[in-house]
Amino acid sequence: MSLTQDALWHKDAVIYQVHVRTFSDSNGDGVGDFQGLAQRLDYLQELGINAIWLMPFFPSPLRDDGYDISDYESVHPAYGTLEDFKKFLAGAHERGIRVIIEMVLNHTSDQHPWFQESRSSQNNPRRDWYVWSETDTRYRGTRIIFVDTEMSNWAWDPISKSYYWHRFFSHQPDLNYDNPAVREQMWNVMKFWLEIGVDAFRLDAVPYLVEREGTSCENLPETHAILKELRRKVDQEFPGRMLLAEANQWPADLRPYFGDGDEFHMAFHFPLMPRMFMGLKLEDRKPITEIMQQTPEIPASCQWCLFLRNHDELTLEMVTDMERDYMYDVYAGSKSMRLNLGIRRRLAPLLDNDRRRIELMNGMLMSLPGTPIIYYGDEIGMGDNIYLGDRNGVRTPMQWSGGWNGGFSSADPESLYSPLLLNPVYGYQAVNVLSQKRTEHSLLSWMQRIIRVRRSTRVFGAGSIEFLYPANHRVLAYVRQLGNETVLVVNNVSSSAQAVELDLRRYKGNILIEMFGRNIFPRVGDLPYLLTMGPYQFYWFRLRRI
C-alpha cells in the first residue's frame, strides 16, 4: 500500500518518538537496531500511531547521543545498514506509518571530516564552513544553552589557533550558514534522505543558524530566509513532505517559523508543555488558558506539535524565573533530577505514577489543538534513572517483557548500551508491554483506546478551539469544532471531586455523547449544564442535535 498524497497528513497524525538504539536489539550486541525496530512495527501499528519520529541514527561519536553527526549520509554501524533503514521504512509505509527523521542543520560533530578540514589550517578551502574568530568576545548577547557544561559559546581550537562558535557542546561546532556552499551541502543531505523516501524532518535547533553582532543570534531574519528557501525546495521537488521545527522559543517568536504557510508545517509548542504540569500541581486551569491566549493563530495548513515528555530534560526555558522555581520545587525535589534549565524525569515518575493524572495529561495532550507526540515507553508508564549522566536516564531500553533484559536484547546485561530499570515500581518486571497486553485496563490498553477515539474524528487535529470559563477554575473546558462536528472537552485538573456549571446555551437542544463509552448525557437546556467530576477526571463529549 502506498501512502496517499495527503498534503495535510501532519494535522491528523499521532506521532511516536523513538530512538532506534533504545527500542529493540535484533543481533544481541546490546544496542537497538533497525532490524529490531522493524520487528516492532506491528506493536506500533496496534498502538494506533501513524507516524514515527526517529532520533539521529547517523554515524557519530555519540557524545550527544547522535546529535553530533560525523556523516550525514549513512547509518551508524551499531544500528545497522542503509539497507536495514530502507527495509524499516518500507515496513512502516506498508502499515500506513510515516517516518520523520532528524536533521541537525546547525552543527556537526567535531569529528566530521568537514570540521577536521576546516580546523586543519586557516587557509583550508573548508575553513569558512564553520564560524571562526580570533577572539572569544564576539556575539556577547547570546545565551548559553547547556549551562551545566559550557562556560562560553566559543571554544579554543589548538590546531588552527583560533576560536570556533558552538551553541551546544563544545564538540558540536556550528556550521556557517552565511556560506552558500554550506547551505547547498545541507540541502543535498536533505535530498539524499527525501529520495530514499522519508516523509518528514524534525529540524533540530533551527533558531540558531545565523549569527549577527548585537543580537541574541536567535530567530534572525537571515535564519528565516534560509529556512524558507529549504521549504521552497522541498515543496518544489518533494511535495507532501513535511518540516517540523525544533524552536524552543516564546509563542511570539515561534509564530514566524510558520511564515505565511511557507516555512514550517509544524513546530513544537514548547511554552504549553510546562504549563500543563504547572496547572496540574496548582490545581488551576490558569497557566494553560493563559498560554493558550498568548498562542497566536497559525496558517490553516500549519500545526502545533504537542508533547508531554521527550528525550531531553523537561525544559523550563520558556517560563518565568518564579515559575521555574515552582516547577523545580514541586517536580524535582532532588538536585539530581535537574539538568540545565530543566528536569530530567519521565512522565510517570513526574506524576507520582498516578494513573489518573497520567490519563488526564494524555487526555489534554490528545484534545488540545495540535498533533500529539508520545515518547516511547510513556505508553506503558516507564520510569527513569536519575543516576545516569546527562539525559540518559530517560533513554533506557524499552521494556517489552519480564524476561531476560526486559525482552530488549539477548546480550549479557552488562553489555547493554544502558542498564535497564530494575526497581520494584518501574523495573521491567513490573512495567512491560507483555503484561500490559494481557489486561484490558492496563495503561497500554487505555492508550490504545484514547488514540483510537482521538483518530475517530478530525476535529482534534484540525478543529478550532474555544475556551469556556466556568466559575470553578479547577475545571478546564473547551469546545473543538470542525464543520458540523463539535466536541466538548472538560478536564478536572484537581485532586478532588468537582462540580462545574458550563454555559452551553449556544448548543441548546443538543445531546452530549460521551466519546469513550458512547453513552448519552442529558440534553442542553436553558440552565447552566451541570457536571460532576471525580479527581483528575476528564470527559470528551460529541454534541449532536438529534
* Per-position x/- string for 219-248, each x denoting binding to ligand NOJ as judged by CB under 6 A, each - no binding: ---------------------------x--
Q: Which CB atom, from 271 or from 287, has the smaller least distance to ligand NOJ? A: 271
Tell me which of 99, 205, 374, 493 binds ligand NOJ, using CB under 6 A: 205
User: How far apart are the C-alpha atoms of 374 and 380, rounded to whole Å?
Assistant: 11
| Residue 184 identity | E
Site string for ligand NOJ, 246-265 (x = CB under 6 A): x-------------------
Grid-cell match 540545565, residue found: 340
359 binds ligand NOJ (CB under 6 A): no
For the CA atoms of 185, 188, 193, 196, the dihedral, rounded to the nearest 10 degrees, stands at -150
Q: In the complex with ligand NOJ, which residue's Cβ is closer, 48 or 66?
A: 66
| Annotation marks residue 94 as catalytic | no
When asked if residue 390 is in the footprint of ligand NOJ (CB under 6 A), the reply is no
- Contact with ligand NOJ (CB under 6 A) among 132, 165, 168, 193: 168
| Nearest residue (CB) to ligand NOJ, 53 versus 277 | 53
Strand partners of residue 155: 164
Integer Cα distance of 303 and 287 in angstroms:
21
Q: What whole-number distance in Å separates Cα of residue 111 and Cα of residue 266?
A: 31
Among 312, 313, 378, 384, binds ligand NOJ (CB under 6 A): 312
Strand order in the sheet with 338-339: 314-315, 342-343, 338-339
The helix or strand, by DSSP H or E, that contains position 133, with its residue range, turns out to be strand 132-133
CA dihedral 333, 337, 338, 344 (to 10 degrees): -130
Contacts 24+ apart (CB under 8 A), 226-230: 226/177, 226/183, 227/203, 227/257, 227/263, 227/264, 228/259, 228/262, 228/263, 229/183, 230/187, 230/190
**Closer to ligand NOJ by Cβ: residue 67 or 88:** 67
Q: How far is CA 272 from the centre of its chain?
A: 12
CB of 384 to ligand NOJ, least distance (A): 15
Give the nearest distance from C-beta 107 to ligand NOJ in angstroms.
7
Cα separation, 246 vs 53, whole angstroms: 13
Question: In 10 A of CB 495, how many CB atoms?
Answer: 14
* Complex with ligand NOJ: residue 124 or 418, whichever CB lies closer: 418
Q: Which residue is nearest to ligand NOJ (CB)?
A: 67
Q: Report in angstroms how near the CB of residue 168 gets to ligand NOJ at its nearest.
A: 4
Q: Assess 384 for contact with ligand NOJ (CB under 6 A).
A: no
Q: Which is nearer to ligand NOJ, 99 or 459 (CB)?
A: 99
Q: How many CB atoms lie within 10 A of CB 72?
A: 21
In whole angstroms, what is the distance from residue 443 CA to residue 204 CA?
Answer: 31
Q: Report the residue from 104, 131, 421, 477 that binds ligand NOJ according to the rule CB under 6 A.
A: 104
The single residue among 12, 25, 33, 64 that binds ligand NOJ, judged by CB under 6 A, is 64
Give the residue, chosen from 43, 67, 187, 541, that forms a contact with ligand NOJ under the rule CB under 6 A: 67
Catalytic residue among 65, 110, 246, 359: 246
The C-alpha cell that represents 472 in the structure block: 470553578
Size of interface with ligand NOJ, in residues (CB under 6 A) = 9
State in angstroms the smallest separation of the CB of 470 from ligand NOJ: 37
69 with 169: CB under 8 angstroms?
A: no
Q: Which is nearer to ligand NOJ, 265 or 395 (CB)?
A: 395
- Burial class of residue 10 in the structure, from the number of CB atoms within 10 Å of its CB (0-12 exposed, 13-18 middle, 19+ buried): buried
Alpha helices per DSSP H over 40-81: 41-47
Q: Residue 368 CB, nearest distance to ligand NOJ (Å)?
A: 22
Choose between 281 and 391: whose C-beta lies nearer to ligand NOJ.
391
Bridge pairing between strands 200-204 and 498-502: unpaired
Known catalytic residue: 246? yes
Q: How far is the CB of 412 from ligand NOJ (least distance, A)?
A: 28
Is 57 a binder of ligand NOJ (CB under 6 A)?
A: no
- The catalytic residue among 204, 211, 312, 313 is 204
- Asked if 204 touches ligand NOJ (CB under 6 A), the answer is yes
* Residue 110 makes contact with ligand NOJ by CB under 6 A: no
Which spans of this chain sit near ligand NOJ (rule: CB under 6 A)? 64, 67, 104, 168, 204-205, 246, 311-312
Active-site positions? 204, 246
